[in-house]
Amino acid sequence: MDEEPERAKRWEGGYERTWEILKEDESGSLKATVEEILFQAKRKRVFESHGQVRLGMMRHLYVVIDTSRTMEDQDLKPNRLTSTLKLVEYFVEEYFDQNPISQVGIITTKNKRAEKLTDLAGNPKKHIDALKKAKDSTCGGEPSLYNSLSLAMQTLKHMPGHSSREVLIIFSSLTTCDPANIYELVKTLKALKIRVSVIGLSAEVRVCTVLTRETGGSYHVILDESHFRELLMFHVKPPPATSSSECSLIRMVFLFSLPPGFPQHTIASISDQDAKPSFSQAHLDSTSGGPGLSMGGYFCPQCQAKYTELPVECKVCGLTLVSAPHLARSFHHLFPLEAFQESPLLLHHTERFCEACQGELKDKSVFTCPSCNSVFCVECDLFIHDTLHCCPSCIHSRSAP
């Protein structure tokens, strides 16, 4: 109770049958099954990245957030909207961390219409600001799947064929108010190879099932907040590219701030007398925002257009501009760390401690790295696969001699 002072009071919450969670259940077997499934799903994220699959590394993703009346429901604390926005914020950060050369846009839908919160862009900051602002907005009316999808489609259909086009819908309502037959739109989406995934906040809705099945996306319904988070994180990993997506050689330019011999990125300093604030190309387009004048920035090596943020496609000459760390960070998707082998603890008499955290192994199963045979606990296994992407023990042994 002390840890979460902001949480709603017990009596404000909905009716919950808390005692049933504690039930040792022999007859129903449901609870156990679901937990088993959840655990499997946790592991699945690790497993699925296996094999040499072509991944759509350059992603263009629109996140559609339902902000209809149903988002005021308090089954997620404090309510669905706040909880969702917070998780999406986290998702955006995580997304750019894992997919640095990808872009995200956010659409909200309420009162039977859809609005663009942010355009497709590669900078997390802007999105997060917009999301923070959206927390104060009110929810109302009904969402419209049709309108949000067609809005997303208008932008996505112009994206190059080698990038993956995706829409992720966070759908709280059980109904949608559409101006036309949505199944026609689904056909168009399918033709345009736009993948639509849905995370439902309340229950399975038929139209979403069809939508995701047709477009090749996934459809999940959350059980609770932690499950919600997991489902969102599931979308952080780049999806396998469809076999029909184009293969094209793209010219990409790495921009460095150093060494000074390649002064594409110049940071104006006080000592630099010649420095003048200038407009960034990106700011010329956007009507909103500040004055758009800035001192530093990246300059396209081909046409000298200036950009304040990367990655971006040059507005003038169409060159893809990235920085080296961006690409490096996408690299691990191509050579994922192999899954560790799960085995019951009893078989490991020699190993008493986790190789990574040095904590005592207590869970009923442990995980072994197939290449260096080090033993890890569940938590470390997840951490290694989700964040580090390399086995600490392997690296250690390699660098030692």
Partner 1 sequence: MKLNIEGLLVYFPYDYIYPEQYSYMLELKRTLDAKGHGVLEMPSGTGKTISLLSLIVAYQREYPLEVTKLIYCSRTVPEIEKVVEELRKLMEFYSKETGEKNNILALALSSRKNLCVHPEVSSLRFGKEVDGKCHSLTASYIRAQRHSNPSLPSCRFYEEFDAMGKQVPLPAGVYNLDDLKDFGRRKGWCPYYLARYSILHANIIVYSYHYLLDPKIADLVSKELSKKSVVVFDEAHNIDNVCIDSMSVNITRRTLDRSQANVETLQNTILKIKETDAAKLKEEYRRLVEGLKEANVARETDIYMSNPVLPDEILQEAVPGSIRTAEHFVGFMKRFLEYLKARLRIHHVVQESAPQFLKDIFEKVCIDRKPLRFCAERLRSLLRTLEIADIADFSAITLISNFATLVSTYSKGFTIIIEPFEDRTPTIANPVLHFSCMDPSIAIKPVFERFQSVIITSGTLSPLDIYPRILDFRPVTVASFTMTLARTCLCPLVVGRGNDQVAMTSKFETREDFAVIRNYGNLLLEMSAIVPDGIVAFFTSYTYMENIVASWYEQGILENVQRNKLIFIETPDAAETSMALEKYQEACENGRGAILLSVARGKVSEGIDFVHHFGRAVIMFGVPYVYTQSRILKARLEYLRDQFQIRENDFLTFDAMRHAAQCVGRAIRGKTDYGLMIFADKRYARADKRGKLPRWIQEHLTDGSLNLTIDETVQLSKHFLRQMAHSIHDISNCNVQCFCQLNLSQEDQLGLSLLTLEQLQSEDMLQKIAQIAHQA
Report the candidate in 110, 18, 12, 119 with the shortest Cα–Cα distance to residue 62: 119
Q: Which is nearer to partner 1, 173 or 368 (CB)?
A: 173
Instruction: Indicate which single residue of 2, 9, 18, 30 sits in contact with partner 1 (rule: CB under 8 A).
Output: 30
Q: Is 208 in the site for partner 1 (CB under 8 A)?
A: yes
Q: Is 200 in the site for partner 1 (CB under 8 A)?
A: yes
Report DSSP state, residue 293: E
**Rounded to the nearest whole angstrom, what is the least distance from the CB of residue 30 to partner 1 in the complex?**
5
**Rounded to the nearest whole angstrom, what is the least distance from the CB of residue 149 to partner 1 in the complex?**
12
Q: Is 105 in the site for partner 1 (CB under 8 A)?
A: no
Contact range with partner 1 by CB under 8 A, out of 96-104, 117-125, 217-225, 373-381: 217-225
Spatial distance between the Cα atoms of 322 and 107, rounded to a whole number of angstroms: 25
**Rounded to the nearest whole angstrom, what is the least distance from the CB of residue 33 to partner 1 in the complex?**
7
Q: In the chain, what is the straight-line distance between the N-terminal and C-terminal CA atoms, in Å?
A: 51
Instruction: Indicate which single residue of 82, 111, 155, 218 sits in contact with partner 1 (rule: CB under 8 A).
Output: 218
Name residue, tokens 């290694």: 384
Q: Is 1 in the site for partner 1 (CB under 8 A)?
A: no
**Rounded to the nearest whole angstrom, what is the least distance from the CB of residue 171 to partner 1 in the complex?**
10
| Cβ atoms within 10 Å of 179's Cβ, excluding its own | 11
Cis peptide before 259 (omega within 30 of 0): yes
Alpha-carbon distances, residue 142 vs 111, 147, 317 (angstroms): 5, 12, 42
Output phi, psi for 217, to 5 deg.
-90, -170
Total residues at the site for partner 1 (CB under 8 A)? Answer: 38
Spatial distance between the Cα atoms of 397 and 401, rounded to a whole number of angstroms: 7
Name the token pair of 395.
Answer: 């690296």
Q: Is 87 in the site for partner 1 (CB under 8 A)?
A: no
> Which residues contact partner 1 by CB under 8 A?
14-17, 20, 28, 30, 33-34, 37, 70, 75, 142, 145, 174-178, 181-183, 200, 202-209, 213, 218-223
